[in-house]
């Protein structure tokens, strides 16, 4: 895919949604961090229901740490893998209190040192909470990047690097949200909704299937 196509793709995505947001509910960087940890192999809707119960009771590292694993589990037991997530969250809260003064760090290295925080989670927090240029590649973004031809790659790191390189700079800060929403609602896994897609005429998947 050439640069002109990519520019037009993101111009249209921006036009349709000038101020894209994550669908996770949060009001502080810490609340976002915990929500993203909980969202692994879970839906944003499910996470939001759990945090709607949790955050009015405890929404700081110290407050959640004071709940303990069993106490936290009661609030998040509707989420898949809640036992292991509860342990990770409690340990993360301990580290935030003891090592970072209760604040969420703003570097990938420090974030990835927290239990339950991998590269994707760190990138979400850096981009969404701190507005840094970072690209969190989940299954939706990986699929859209490969299917459309925007940034094809064999693994998430390759796709991430290509997106950071190829997405037009004016659109890079919000590209993560546009791509994930496009993958979640339009360019879905089994039957992409090509007929209602704003970038159908620019998509190399559509061009390829038309040629076959």
- Rounded to whole angstroms, the Cα distance separating 50 from 79 reads 8
Q: Which residues contact 195 (CB under 8 A, 6 or more apart)?
A: none
Nearest-CA neighbor of 148 among 74, 91, 87, 201? 201
Find the distance separating the first CA and the last CA of the chain, reported in whole Å.
18
* Residue from 120, 170, 206, 211 carrying the catalytic annotation: 120
Do 200 and 187 touch, CB atoms closer than 8 A?
no
Catalytic residue (one of 49, 66, 138, 154): 138
169 assigned to active site = no
Among all residues, which ones are annotated catalytic?
Answer: 120, 138
């Amino acid at each position: 895919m050439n640069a002109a196509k990519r520019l037009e793709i993101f111009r249209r995505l921006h036009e349709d949604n000038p101020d894209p947001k994550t669908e996770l509910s949060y009001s502080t960087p810490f609340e976002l961090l915990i929500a993203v940890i909980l969202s692994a192999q879970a839906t944003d809707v499910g996470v939001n229901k759990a945090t709607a119960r949790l955050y009015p009771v405890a929404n700081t590292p110290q407050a959640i740490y004071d709940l303990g694993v069993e106490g936290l589990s009661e609030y998040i037991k509707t989420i898949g893998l809640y036992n292991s997530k509860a342990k990770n969250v409690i340990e993360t809260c301990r580290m935030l209190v003891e090592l970072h003064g209760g604040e969420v760090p703003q570097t990938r290295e420090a974030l990835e040192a927290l239990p339950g925080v991998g590269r994707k989670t760190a990138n979400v927090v850096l981009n969404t909470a701190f507005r840094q240029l970072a690209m969190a590649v989940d299954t939706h973004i990986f699929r859209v990047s490969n299917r459309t031809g925007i940034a094809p790659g064999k693994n998430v790191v390759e796709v991430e690097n290509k997106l950071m390189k190829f997405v037009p700079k004016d659109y890079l800060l919000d590209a993560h949200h546009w791509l994930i929403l496009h993958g979640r609602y339009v360019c879905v896994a089994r039957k992409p909704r090509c007929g209602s897609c704003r970038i159908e005429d620019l998509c190399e998947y559509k061009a390829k299937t038309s040629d076959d």
